Amino acid sequence: MKVLIVEDNPINAEMVRLALEKEHYEPIVAHDGEEGLAQLEAHPDVALVITDVMMPSVNGLEMLARIRRRPEWRNLPVVLATSLADEATVRQAARLHCKHFIVKPFTVRLLLQSVHEAIGQRDAILQDKMQVMARIGIDADGYQRLALAFASFVHDRVASFRELCEREQIAELDATIRRDLVALEENATLLGAERIGNLLVTLGLPAGTPPADKIGEACKAILTELRLLEQALPSLPVPPVDGAESAAAAEPAA
């Protein structure tokens, strides 16, 4: 699980990195808010951000505000690690839906407690297999079939939304995309894909229509969540290389 550390003090950053690695997290380090935002773009599967407040270029609160403007990051848990424990800082962070604070200097125990609490409050990408089986009344074989069918659906939608996001301008969501979003919402509800289901609700889709200047941003947010969901679902079978299947069939039995 990836955790982004945004800290301009290299000693503090190294302490947090070592603590997270010991707990088998995958830390990514950025040295200011601007670099932190770039790392989030490069790693859409980041599960948590730990950030200082006082940093050059873009500070922690400015970075947090920019994170919350993006639909796909709106519910991303953030831990503020700062020596600025004043009321104004806490209130500003709370307005930006940041619930977790640790005051410098802090212990590794306090850091990890905050990390575990913050990650535990994030929506699951995919509901536990046993919970889904019990909820809809199917056995393990039935779940595997449904999950593979959903994985194939998601894989195809990743390709179509990637193509959509590469367009210079998206004027509207056409009928095909809307049908895909309806099916995505239904499938996400069935298989317990909570994160992407909640994102669609946040965006007012598929029934509603985002403002014209927000359609491109909405499509990028959906693409990010589709990629995460694709990783969480069972891997699709690898198709045989051309000619390999027929050659295998023609090979005499031993």
| Domain-wise residue ranges, the chain | 2-120, 129-232
Give the lowest-confidence range in 95-99, 235-239, 242-246. Answer: 242-246
Q: Where are the alpha helices (DSSP H) in the chain?
A: 10-22, 33-42, 60-68, 87-95, 108-120, 129-136, 140-165, 175-191, 194-203, 215-232, 244-250
Span 238-243, average pLDDT: 67
Give the lowest-confidence range in 51-60, 153-162, 171-180, 208-217. Answer: 208-217
Task: With a cut of 50, say whether residue 178 has pLDDT above it.
Answer: yes
pTM value surpassing 0.85: no
- Alpha-carbon gap, residue 81 to 107, rounded angstroms: 11
Non-local (6+) Cβ contacts of 80 within 8 A are 51, 52, 53, 60, 64, 89, 93, 98, 100, 101, 102
In order of 128, 190, 206, the CA distances from 179 in angstroms are 27, 17, 8
Per-residue model confidence (pLDDT) at position 159: 95
Query: How does residue 16 score in pLDDT terms, banded at 50, 70 and 90?
Result: very high
Strand order in the sheet with 2-6: 26-30, 2-6, 46-51, 78-82, 100-103
Task: Report residue 206: phi and psi, to 5°.
Answer: -90, -10
Q: Where on the phi/psi map is residue 233: left (φ > 0), alpha (ψ -120 to 50), or beta?
A: beta
Question: Token pair for residue 193?
Answer: 């894909």
Task: With a cut of 60, say whether residue 197 has pLDDT above it.
Answer: yes
Per-residue model confidence (pLDDT) at position 80: 94
Identify whether the C-beta of residue 221 lies closer than 8 Å to the C-beta of residue 72.
Answer: yes
Per-residue model confidence (pLDDT) at position 245: 52
Task: Specify the fold of 2-120.
Answer: Rossmann fold (3.40.50)
Beta bridge partners, 49, equal: 4, 78
Task: With a cut of 90, say whether residue 40 has pLDDT above it.
Answer: yes
Angle at 197 between CA 226 and CA 35, to 5 degrees: 50
Per-residue model confidence (pLDDT) at position 254: 46
Per-residue model confidence (pLDDT) at position 251: 56
Give residue-wise pLDDT tens across range 70-108.
988 988 999 999 887 678 888 888 899 898 999 999 999
Identify whether the C-beta of residue 107 lies closer than 8 Å to the C-beta of residue 116.
Answer: no
Beta bridge partners, 6, equal: 30, 51
Q: Which residue has the higher pLDDT, 11 or 248?
A: 11
Query: How does residue 20 score in pLDDT terms, banded at 50, 70 and 90?
Result: very high
Give the lowest-confidence range in 142-151, 203-212, 226-235. Answer: 203-212
- Alpha-carbon gap, residue 29 to 16, rounded angstroms: 10
Per-residue model confidence (pLDDT) at position 76: 92
